[in-house]
Structure 1
Amino acid sequence: MEISPTMAKAVRRVRRVVLPLLFSYLAVVVMLSLVERWLVYPAPSAREGDWVAADFKHEDIEFNGADGAKLHGWYVPHPNPKAVVLFCHGNGENVAELRPLLEKLHDRTDVSIFAWDYRGYGKSVGRPHESNLLADARAAQLVLAKRAGVEPSDIVVYGRSLGGAVAVGLASEHPVRGMVLERTFADMVETAAYHFPWLPVRWVMKNRYPSIERIVTYRGPLFQSHGTADEVVPFEMGKKLFDAATTAQKTFFVVEEGSHNAPQPDEYYKALGEFLDSLPPVGSGVGQREHTAAG
């Protein structure tokens, strides 16, 4: 079939428009894959936050990650805790910025709590990635259990935002006494696709955190909260994760008009305290048995 001069001219014109757009799009995709770590883990400067905190009763704890990486966290003991909590924070904060929250959880829910920094955050060294964060969470659980004088399965794991995915990853593989999730997502790739629908994030993302797949193996008590006005992780995504949980003992606390970074209302701490009161006694081994049954 012979192409007319007019058609050939039209084809050349389309090529001149489409090819530059295509190359530009591919360049953006490549750039996104190169800066993924920065986008997923925008660690604040280690100088941010009050690292001295002289009037804050806490202990600096240094420990080794799964491969020997030097990690750091703050432990806030309670003389008579109703729970020993491992706190996994969001992707834009470090432990020195968590002081108000740690004090509130300690004082209002009567817990001993250990917040630790991911690699590249605060005083922890290294580069964060999904695989080493999950392994480091297990190391943090073991360190906290030894310091608090309890079994690792007696630890309550608490995660918010990105930390929720870390908490789910830990609890899906290792027994815990209970799990608290705050404003977290069902799947990181799905959340990224929501914010960047024009990018093929489902193909290129290396840090995936498929919490919705992992949470089905968790059989222990679950307390989850989410704000209806969350602009980072839409409410429906948090509820989707909760609905996927197969545990019989689970509570979903709705924060009306709550945004992603807004403080929790007073009612939240009351409900959280009631959840902690409902947990099986320390030393009962319930978390161990539930995890074994799930496996």
Structure 2
Amino acid sequence: MFLGVVSMGLNGIIDSFVFFPDKQLIGTPNDLEMDYRNLWITVEKEKIIHAWWVPAPDPGAVVLFCHGNAGNISHRLDNLAGLYRLGLSVLIFDYRGYGKSRGSASEEALYADARAACARAGELARQAAVPLVVFGRSLGGAAAVGLVEEPGISGMILESTFTNLADMAKVQYHLPWTGSWLAGRFNSLDRIKNARTPLLFIHGNQDYIVPFELGKRLFQAAPEPKEFIAIEGAGHNDTIETAGQAYYEKLAQFINSLKMVES
């Protein structure tokens, strides 16, 4: 029992270094002239998370967007607008503790919230008879990789994401001794091996928050079909600005190559 209490305490400390939620929404898709609908998604019969459904007219796909570790969905309006301009419908959701979503953030909750949001996005994709694409950015990449065995996903985009928490701790906190007890946390490196859909990786080669090398290692562990796009000169938060229109051209090329799969 004592060890269990200690483990829970350590996990709570670790989560406090990973999640930086903001409860205040700073805008809505209407601010960028996108119609949207608030959705409330039930997770595990008791937790409720908040999402925005932004439907495009005559969409080419539905994108489930898994955002990074700070802020909330309202801080991703530019991402929403870029995908919407490509003719894509987007479901973006907040993890527990972020924005209007209830509860507290944790690794276990992150994966459960992503699964519930994916199920809802799958329903919307089937209604529109279009492919479902999962897009995970930074920590959202871990949430996305946690979905690789979920049914009905046509493809996955992973941007500026990492291998596991141990590797990130070595980079961010210079703690070489963390490998034995953090490697299992947010372990995308093992999960990616079970991917069953086409994968597109995007990473800035000057990313010092999630180093380029971690993105490459994750890519190398993934099965085919896969593609890695290195954005020359980009850091962690300026991939779109650095790549310009070529960024969206690549997204469109990848998404247009996907076919709807049965769930």
Q: How would you bin the TM-score normalised by the shorter chain? A: 0.7 to 0.9
Which residue pairs with 2:5 in the alignment?
Answer: none
1:234: which partner in 2?
211
- Provide the residue aligned with 2:194 in structure 1: 217
Are residues 1:273 and 2:252 paired?
yes
Is residue 2:117 matched to residue 1:140? yes
1:71 aligns with 2:58: no
Partner of 1:60: 38
Q: For 1:160, which of 137, 142, 146 is the aligned residue?
A: 137
- Equivalent in 196, 204, 222 of residue 245 of structure 1: 222
Selected match of 2:168 from 179, 186, 191: 191
Unaligned runs of 5+ in 2: 1-8
Identify if the C-alpha distance between structure 1 residues 39 and 207 changes in structure 2 by more than 3 Å, giving closer, same or farther: farther
Q: CA contact under 8 A between 2:164 and 2:184: conserved in structure 1? A: no
Q: Which range moved further: 143-152 or 231-240?
A: 143-152
1:116 to 78, 82, 93: 93
Q: Which runs of 5+ in 1 are unaligned?
A: 1-30, 289-295
CA 1:87 to 1:263, structure 2 compared with 1: closer, same or farther past 3 Å? same
TM-fit CA distance, 1:138 = 1.4
How far did residue 188 of structure 1 move? 2.1
The equivalent residue for 1:11 is: none
Give 2:21's match in structure 1, choosing from 43, 56, 74: 43
Name the counterpart of 1:169.
146
Contact 2:15 2:106 in 1 (8 A): yes
Instruction: Name the CA distance, whole Å, in 2 between partners of 1:153 and 1:170.
Output: 19
Identity %: 36
Of residues 191-200 and 267-276 in structure 1, the stretch that sits farther from structure 2 once superposed is 191-200
Of residues 80-89 and 149-158 in structure 1, the stretch that sits farther from structure 2 once superposed is 149-158
Match of 1:105 in 2: 83
Deviates more, 1:216-225 or 1:143-152: 143-152
Contact 1:153 1:177 in 2 (8 A): no
The whole-number CA distance in structure 2 between the counterparts of 1:207 and 1:221 is: 25
Secondary structure in 2 matching 1:113: strand
Match of 1:291 in 2: none
- Is the 8 Å Cα contact of residues 86 and 158 (structure 1) preserved in structure 2? yes
Structure number with greater Rg is 1
- Structure 1 residue 35 displacement after superposition: 2.9
**Aligned AA (2:99):** G
Asked if 1:257 corresponds to 2:233, the answer is yes
- Mark the CA change 1:72 to 1:50 in structure 2 (over 3 Å): closer, same or farther: same
Whole-angstrom CA distance in 2 between matches of 1:138 and 1:153: 19
Q: 1:81 to 1:157 in 2, by over 3 A?
A: same
- Of 68, 89, 95, the residue aligned with 2:73 is 95
SS in structure 1 of the partner of residue 62 of structure 2: strand
**Letter matched to residue 268 of structure 1:** Y
Q: Pick closer, same or farther for the CA change 1:33–1:214 going to 2, 3 Å.
A: closer
**Partners of 2:209 and 2:184 in 1: CA distance:** 17
Query: Contact conserved, 2:15 with 2:107, CA < 8 A, in 1?
Result: no
Letter of the 2:168 counterpart: T
Provide, for residues 100-124 of structure 1, a one-character-per-residue CA deviation record: whole Å limited to 9, x for no partner.
11011110x2211100000000000
The answer to whether the Cα contact below 8 Å between 2:39 and 2:50 also exists between their aligned partners in 1 is: yes
- Asked whether 1:81 is paired with 2:81, we answer no
Distance across 2 between alignment mates of 1:52 and 1:144: 18
Q: Between Structure 1 and Structure 2, how many residues are aligned?
A: 252
Report the Cα distance in structure 1 between the residues aligned to 2:103 and 2:145, rounded to whole angstroms.
22
Cα distance in 2, alignment partners of residues 152 and 207 from structure 1: 37
